Structure 1
Amino acid sequence: MPEEIIEKINNLNEFYKPGTKIDVFLILRSVGKEDLDGPYASLISFLDNNEVLWIETPMKQGYPLILTSGDLVLINIKKGKIIYQFQGLILERKREPNTNLFLFALNAAKEVKKIERRQFFRLPVVLDVKLTIKKDIKDKDSINFKGKTKDLSGGGVKVVFKLSDYKEIIKLIKEENLVFIEFEIDKKKKINQKIKFVNSYTDNESKIGFISFCFENIPRGVQDSIIRFLFAKQREMKQKGIEFND
């Protein structure tokens, strides 16, 4: 993994500008333990006296995350190709006027972890994959396709399909179905992950199509497993004298 970069925030008012989109992860409830849950989408409401950051009620698929004093959360602020990240304890909450939603307060971090998205370098690895497409998460009926990875990263994957399957997949994706991918790493460790379409292109001469996906709401442990696998493969390729662009 790349070294963590800690960056000092020089202008808090500019950094925590009202309306900025953020992702909120619940790390630990003040009463009892709870697994990492998220991300929940939220917005910065305002910065109070350069000290206390107020955020709007985090939401996920229409459901609110109601926090209480002492809950530990992880905040991601995306700015271009960089994610700024920090943890904080919820200090208090207050109801938003004329709504059933709340504003939540936590100390505004003056130093944040800076994560460049290039840390998710893509490595050319070939793995068998199964793509599953269904209308609803609870739907027992699904359509499955087989393909092979062209490259893989901690943030997404590019998959090669025969041209007939490629055309059918693109059609189904445009109908806003749910898409899942399954493949194996690290001596048959199985990854089964929801993915989201990014882009695609075809090679008509070879009669194949390429589709790039990003992993959607991937658990940190799963992402770390993929990255460890890729670093091991990278070392193996370098030992064999194989050149590649990361």
Structure 2
Amino acid sequence: MRKIFKVGDKIEIVRIDRRTWEEKDVQYISKIADIKDEYFYIFTPIKEGVYVTFYIDEILRLYKISSDGVWMFDGVIEERFKEPEYMIKVKQISDVRKIQRRMFFRLPINLDIFVKLLNFGQIPRENTPEQAANDFSEGKIVKALTKDISGGGVCFITQEEFEIGDLILTKIPIEQEELILKAQILRKERVQHPTYRFMYGCKFVEARQNEIDKIVRFIFAQQQKMRQKGLL
């Protein structure tokens, strides 16, 4: 395969949770300073005027957005440097792979949504909008607030406690309608919030293509508004 990641490339860095191997929510922008075999020397990102603190043995996921798609690989931090510049030495521990651009961008946005836990005997066998609406009409339904959303999943906070691996139904307002989407919880964290106690990272399961397209169109529309306001 041709060399994808090169010296001078602008990249995005995401921390990885070792327990679940899932991404944490914060993304950092940086640049590749040097490459030696499987080792990448990366300028330490700066956030709010301060160098971001990374740790030895921490797992990172590195993304590069190019004209032909989004590329990524996982790495582990082996060294940190302050001279001649602040940098981290990252050893590549996975193959470089390509992902769909639309699944990559996570739009930070607060949307009021509803969530329902699916017990094993309640898992929908059909995936029609009518069946989804019926499945959401019964059982305990809780309020939640999104932190971000992408074509592949959603992050939200709520008062209700779920467990990693749980299947849920989410009702999300998109394009003047409410999409009812099944999702699986991949990440769980306690949060300090006046109303909600937990934050969950979820991936959509068995979503229809037209449902994903609606989310992607919504994200693009919100991005355009943010650009017009100078926020992107």
Class of the TM-score when normalised by the shorter of the 2 chains: 0.3 to 0.5
Larger Rg: 1
